Amino acid sequence: MSPQAPKEFLRGLGPRWHLDVQGHRDEVFAFYQPFHQAQLARLGPGAEIIETSRYGSHAKNEFEFYWPERQDDQSLAHEDNPKSVLFFVHGGAFVRGDRNTTPEVYSNVLREFCRSGFIGVNIGYRLAPDACYPDAAVDIVQAITKAKEVLSDRRIRLGQQFLMGHSAGGTHCATALFDPCMAEKAASLREELDGLILMSPRLKADRDPRNVNAAGVIAYFGEDDTKFELRSPLTHMKKSDIPLFIGMAEFENPLLHDYVEPCRRFATYRQYNDHNHMSIITQFDSGHNECWKDLQEFCKITPTNPV
């Protein structure tokens, strides 16, 4: 087991986070790994990966289904209660990242939700330079459409449906749901979603020298920064008809707090002190998830969409 408690580790790392984002990311992964492994040993996996499905021609156009442990599609299909589903989208500064960055991350997010009876869908999508705005948002909508077709074919009744994105994944989720260029493609998704969960999202494209991931922003959104405003999710997020949860760490990548601030008036907003940009998502299914109670409440109080 890690010699430190998570709070002690986080308090030591937090003020230094911005000095070496990539190096500290790996430090967070290494610190939480024993906690993830202990949780698996104590509670079991919580979920079974029952299928990897493709939804496009690119190698990244894949997603995995996570089934609640000890259940299969037949048992789920015969349950009286509809099954809630979480669609999860990983981050990676637009140019890197994977739905399985490590053996524990990001499956930890799906496992924690599955422990509460959710079906989980872990979505991969195209990255720059193979993709440019708004390709990743298009991928997400296509992946969700395909996943729901598979569930329908298996006669599984869906209850609440939540879309969750971390970091750049949150950017793409917000683009899919708020950008006018996605209005037609995402119309059905907007009608059927019961909630959007954004963890440490980047809601504005910029090439600010304080932005440690400015190169990734340019690679995805383009060299012409006169188009950044129109291509930024924040520009189109004046309100949200979809219940919105935003979770932010105390120690974020530079500028992310500023960009989220205008959304606080219409979102369920929570800040997690001592946490950093990666620990806020790595803490899932570690036994030390400080945002889980808030997410349980958000999902519970959000009424099931009748569509």
Position 292 scores a pLDDT of: 96
Q: Of 36 and 238, which is predicted with more confidence?
A: 36
pLDDT over 50 at 2, yes or no: no
CA dist., res. 179 & res. 19, Å (int)? 32
Model confidence over 260-292: pLDDT tens digits? 999 999 999 999 999 999 999 999 999 999 999
CA dist., res. 263 & res. 261, Å (int)? 5
DSSP class of 92: S
Mean pLDDT (whole number) for 39-54: 89
Neighbours of 21 (CB within 10 A): 16
Position 307 scores a pLDDT of: 41
Q: Of 50 and 57, which is predicted with more confidence?
A: 57
CA dist., res. 51 & res. 53, Å (int)? 6
Position 1 scores a pLDDT of: 44
CA dist., res. 16 & res. 251, Å (int)? 9
Could you tell me which residues are beta bridge partners of residue 297? none
The answer to whether the CB of 138 falls within 8 A of the CB of 185 is yes
Q: For residue 75, what pLDDT band results from cuts at 50, 70 and 90?
A: low
Three-state secondary-structure class, residue 254: coil
